[in-house]
Every structure is written in C-alpha cells, then in structure tokens.
Amino acid sequence: MGHIDGPDAMALAWLHSAGVRQMVGYTVPIWFGYAGWGCLDYFVEQPGRYSLVEAFFANQRALIDSLEHGVGNERGLRFDKNAVAFYGDPGWEARMADGPRAFELTLAVDDDLHTLTVTPNRGEESFAPICTNGSQRGGRPFVYMLPRRIDAGGVQLVEGADLEPVIADDFILVPNPGRCDPARTYRVAFRAPAARR
C-alpha cells in the first residue's frame, strides 16, 4: 500500500483517519518487490532487532549495496530504489516484540576497536530465507546500527576482510554469504576514531 494517486488514496486515508502512524509503501504500482519484501524481512523476520524506520533504512542500504556490486536485477533494483517511501512520523518507534531469530548480531566496543559478530542460531539454515512467499525474499545483508558515529574515513579493518563489510559512519553492512558454516566464526573487527563534532 502506498500508491498515492490523488487525495482519496487509501494510504492517505489510513494515515489521516485509521490511526496508522507509520507505513512503508510504493509510490506507484509495483512489479519488482525488493524494497517492500525486504522491509518485511528485516522488521518481521528478525523480531525486535529493528524498528520500522531502521528496517526501512537497512533495506535501502542493502538495495544500494546490491546496485553498487552488480548483484541482482539492476532494472528492478533501480525501480525500487526510487519508488518506495516511508510514510508517517519517523521519530515514533514501532518495533516487534523480541522473538527467536535465525542469527544474532552483537557489537563489542573497546575504546576505538569495534567487533561485530554474527552468531548462527539455526545451523546451516541460519542465513537462508525464513520465508520465500513473495518475490525478492531473503538474502539480505547483515546490518548493524552503530551506537555512536565514527569517522568512517579513519577505519582500519583488523579482521573479516573476506566478508567484504561496508563500514559507514553510523552502520556496518556485511553481505549475507547465503550458506552458513556453523563451525566458522563470522566476525568483522575494525578500529575507528569517533566522529568529529
């Protein structure tokens, strides 16, 4: 939902009269689905990890990363990048209750050393799609929102280069390898100074 084609669009009615505070929707009729299904993958299938705003952000970053690395249907990704919107108050926090997750993300910070660990919870199936009912489901990168901004220009990768992480000033993105080796340690460690004010 979200195709606003005039003042009587259902998305506007929901926001105005039905008590909806936030939603994600396409601004036009859809055909690809990466942006919509991805928000579901982050928000619902990783219960409690992301607010709806964070899930929307994580999926947009995943989409941009796919475009930059030539992964997936470029035409579809470009369509979705510019055709989905976050509606409502971004300051209001909507979050699923904590629940079982296929993997855990933990960040340890010791001075300027940041260590992100991905811990599988479902053996070899830990990184597989939870549900394939819908196009473009699963396979999303691991995204962790940093607790404070860093100077991304000063990042020195210490461990995990083979995982090809993207380290920005306020998040870490690690591509999902697809198949999980439960005996392996999935860890990215880097040194980064705090962002200048």
What is the tens place of the pLDDT at every residue in 139-158? 999 999 999 999 999 999 99
Confidence grade of residue 1 (pLDDT, cut at 50, 70, 90): low
What stretches of 44-152 show up as alpha helix (H) in DSSP?
52-68, 74-81
d(CA 39, CA 157): 29
Neighbours of 190 (CB within 10 A): 22
pLDDT digits (tens, 9 = 90+) for 28-40: 888 899 998 999 9
Is residue 143 exposed (0-12), middle (13-18) or buried (19+ Cβ within 10 Å)? Answer: buried
Compute the distance between CA of residue 109 and CA of residue 194 in angstroms, rounded to an integer. Answer: 12
Helices (H), the chain: 10-17, 34-43, 52-68, 74-81
- Provide, rounded to the nearest whole percent, the portion of the chain with pLDDT above 70: 99
What are the distances in angstroms from CA 66 to CA 35, 49, 78, 142?
12, 22, 10, 13
Q: What are phi and psi of 189, to 5 degrees?
A: -125, 140
pLDDT tens digits along 78-105 = 999 988 989 889 999 999 999 999 999 9
